[in-house]
Amino acid sequence: MENFVFHNETKLIFGKGTIDRIGGEIKSAGFKKVLMLCGGGSIKKNGVYDQVIASLKNSGVEWVEVWGVKPNPVLSKVHEAIEVAKKEKVEAILGVGGGSVIDSSKAVAAGVLYDGDIWDAFIGKYTVQKALPIFAVLTISATGTEMNGNAVVTNEKTLEKFAVRSKALYPKVSIIDPLIQASLPREQTVYGAVDAIAHILEYYFDGSDSLAQNELSEGLIRTVMTCTERLLEDPNDYESRANFAWSATLALNGLTAAGRRGGDWSCHRIEHSLSAIYDIAHGAGLAIVFPAWMRYVWREKPEQFVRFLKKIFSIEGDGEQAVLKGIEAFKGWLKKVGAPVSLKDVNIPAQDLDKIVDNVFRRNEPLGNLKKLDRSDVRKILELALE
């Protein structure tokens, strides 16, 4: 196990009927006016909007609204919200929605206090050290952004999807009411599950050794898988919804990273290019990339892959045949719950592979931790993802 410091800045309020606490939390923190950032309108259908507005009114908190954040959030909407926030002189940002909304809220919070283009932070020209306070009401459990300092945004002009990380971007308070997630479309539950599992696996397969972290990670993965299957049968199963939501938060709030080597993140980097170019769901892209990556790199630390496949899929054996059988079992589960498992499933043709590789390496940074990947490696992984 590696040395680590675990410290999370976010206060998390979890459970039924907790959304009405958001106004009081903002007021008690000393803020009187917020920018409320929202998605396409689903929060008006499931009652979340009304709950949030009532809470703000009852607490005497003023607000202005910006709507239209889309899945795979884009830079132009961030720019729009920054201008509104500056004009209205808001004191904090309130994201009400899924990961895309909260990621955008973080970019807006940092951008309001930066004289340049906040995209500079995503391309490494600016280090975020300050931001407006961020509050969040989560409506889709998937990304873990409600309890970390990460944000991902796509520059739709350049087709670059990059991440930024900063302690200043941790939400001050996040609220998760699993009850309101019962209305989610089936595919959003599935893609949320894939995203959560992928976050855990990025650390699990980074070449580190830790019995405690292995056991924790495996338990979370099994919980997500079990709850996903139950929710596909009964979307109103509150216990499964609550356990799913909490597991997705734990997947990327720093807990599974403790004692690890920083994660691998190859699969996320590759997937970001898929969703930047083709605008597919992030979870869909991860379901395609991860099994292919596993097939390509498993020999770098075979004992960890053997452990994973035994603990998750009860597959015995320690040779190539057992490992490949286990990876196919993982791929089979993804397919079973309705995720795409091949580039062909999302209509990405083989002739586009070089274009995808070019996009992956636009950012001049090393790729991978378990195995350092170059352009030829990524192309081979994408070729496996065609199968």
Is the domain of 65 the same as that of 160? yes
Cβ atoms of residues 172 and 13 within 8 Å:
no
Residues 207 and 261 in one domain: yes
Q: Secondary structure of the chain: what % helix, strand, coil (to 5)?
A: 55, 10, 35
Q: Are residues 197 and 309 in the same domain?
A: yes
For position 203, which CATH number holds?
1.20.1090.10
135-168 b/e (C-beta count within 10 Å ≥ 16 → b): bbbbbbbbbbbbbbbbbbbbbbeeebbbbbebeb
Token output for 114: 């930066």
Asked if residue 6 is part of any domain, the answer here is no
Residues 190 and 154 in one domain: no
Q: In this structure, which amino acid lies at residue 274?
A: L
Answer whether residue 349 is part of any domain.
Answer: yes
291 occurs within a structural domain: yes
Of 109, 144, 179, the residue that ends a domain is 179
Domain that holds residue 222: 186-384
The average pLDDT across 371-378 equals 96
What are 302's two structure tokens? 């075979």
- Structure confidence by residue, pLDDT tens digits, 187-219: 999 999 999 999 999 999 999 999 999 999 999
Q: Is 348 helix (H, G, I), strand (E, B) or coil?
A: coil
Burial (CB count <10 Å: 0-12, 13-18, 19+), residue 52: buried
Q: What is the pLDDT of residue 317?
A: 86
Q: How high is the mean pLDDT of the chain?
A: 96
Shared-domain flag, residues 174 and 198: no
**Please, how many CA atoms are within 13 Å of residue 244, restricted to the half-sphere of its CB?**
32
Q: Is the pLDDT of residue 31 over 80?
A: yes
Q: What is the CATH number of the domain that holds 94?
A: 3.40.50.1970
The span from the CA of 56 to the CA of 54, in Å, is 6
Q: Is residue 77 situated within a structural domain? A: yes
What average pLDDT score do residues 320-343 get?
A: 95
Confidence (pLDDT) at 252: 97
| CA-based torsion, 236, 241, 242, 243: positive or negative | positive
Task: Please give the tally of structural domains in the chain.
Answer: 2
Give residue 366's pLDDT: 83
C-beta separation of 108 from 83 below 8 A: no
